[in-house]
Structure 1
Amino acid sequence: MRKPPAAQSENLDVLVVDDDEAGLLDLIASLRRAGLSCLGASTGWEALEALLKGPVPSVIVTDIRMPELDGLELAQRLGRMDLARLPELVFISGSADLGHAVDAIRLRARDLLTKPVDLRRLIQIVRDVQLERQAQSLSKATPHRDDMPVHGKPDARMQSKSVDVEAMSIVVLSNLRKLRRVRSENLPAGLAVEASWEILLDLYVSELRSERTSLTALGGSAGVPLTSGLRRIHELESKGMLMRTPDEKDRRRAAAHLTEKGRETVQSFIRSYVTFCRESDSQHADK
């Protein structure tokens, strides 16, 4: 089993399952460069063993065609396991056909990707799953509108409180990513999402999670080629919205951080967005 560095083992983002040794190692390396913690398994049985020992990943990326226990059988066994939360499934295949697509839908897979894997698409799937899960956790910890006084209308004291930016950030950013995905699906092919805004959002989320983000990982997860991502990072740095800090152990590497200007840019938008949503809810409640 291919294990990530010890520092990543407590929090697992992705488990990759593929009997193609070279493809497995290459995909693991690419996901790690994007800042994701990752484990690898070369057989379905090895993957099940990893799940039993923990930690349970947010996403399992598995090849469909494997000897002994293939990806579809792995997914079926996964559904019968006693796990607090089942991982999301992404199937990969060198020759996916209609039958595979039907099987993927039946097993409620998140996506079916053909080899060579579209890395940017896979990273975005993992990011979406992470944000959705954090949004779900946050929604369980906050009162439902039906629990509010005066026939579902917010209490006056709640309306007068300032927006808790950090508490609402995961929900807002999750919704923004969904909106961006829908928007991009209805645009002509070849139009990319604005990478500079993606970089600011990713850095802000990383700060909330107390995560250190390298320049390479940040540029690789921006939804554009790495060279374009690094160019956007340089532009944001020149505008005073982010800064880089050299790695004390390796001066050739550097981490990215939001400046006060960059942080306030994101928080200002979140405040406006949350205020708009509250006003919208209030208008619907009055009708």
Structure 2
Amino acid sequence: MDRRVVDLLYERKSGMRTLLLGDNAKRMATLHAAVLEAGGEVIGQATIAEALLQLEDAEQPELVIVDVQADYGALLDAALARLERAAQERRFEALVLVPLALVDLASTQAGLSASLLVDPEPREMASALVAACRRRSTEVHDSSAEAMAMRLADLSEEVGRVARSLAQLVVPGATPGVLEEVPPAEEMALLRAVIRRRRLRHDFFVRGLFADAAWDMLLDLRLAQLERREVAVSSLCIAASVPATTALRWISTLIDNRLMVRHPDPRDRRRAFVSLTPAANQAMAAYAGAVLRQSAELTLPEDLSPKR
């Protein structure tokens, strides 16, 4: 773990009482060591089957870390739902570690107040621990430590700034630009071409170098709207072309800024879909119309076309 992160946690004297929930002994040992190294205190460790009982224990934790590596059906549903309610009540901070295969389930059951980490790297996990301690702790003694915490939170703040800028383009009740009726087939062809060309960059440059998760997700959701298909959270994470945890932060921020809305799958309560809000959908339609109009304006008249 980054030594600066450890120093920050010690300097803040967080000593957060932490409860660990999970079934993989090796992973639990790693998490236990990380919490101790970060200056925290592990007050309990239990399996997913024991989660509900532990969450009701008299000695309430300040931080709960749940490591979910398999789908336990109704048992896991109940545990994550209880975790979400407790986190909403601000009884404790909650970190939920999941593989990409379970992101739909986790984001549905515990994706609002708990922090979801999808196959997190060590530094990502360390940053999440710092953020949890920073939210919970009220003791700040060192301005340099505070500056360090602020630097670690830069990514989330940047996400918020960009999303707010996007939100300013969509004013409820207003028409974003000149909205002309575009034949659905033409718009779908345009969107597919834009998405295809954006992904083509991955064949020539390092993946993530030109990451623009918000725009990639908006393009994907607009195309899905035209194709009359639903988009699950996990599918949208893949469309974003960034690490899944980063994509989840974007989804949450864009929902907060009323560009996207999440709704349950009526056929599977353990999964959620994401779609554009009406205003964002209208803005994307206006964008497509503007691009098609500009393309037509750039087309040379027949008498000015190169002669063969």
Q: TM-score range by the shorter chain?
A: 0.3 to 0.5
| Bigger radius of gyration among the two | 2
Which structure ranks higher in relative contact order (CA pairs < 8 Å, sequence separation ≥ 6)? 2
TM-score by length of 2: 0.37
TM-score by length of 1: 0.39
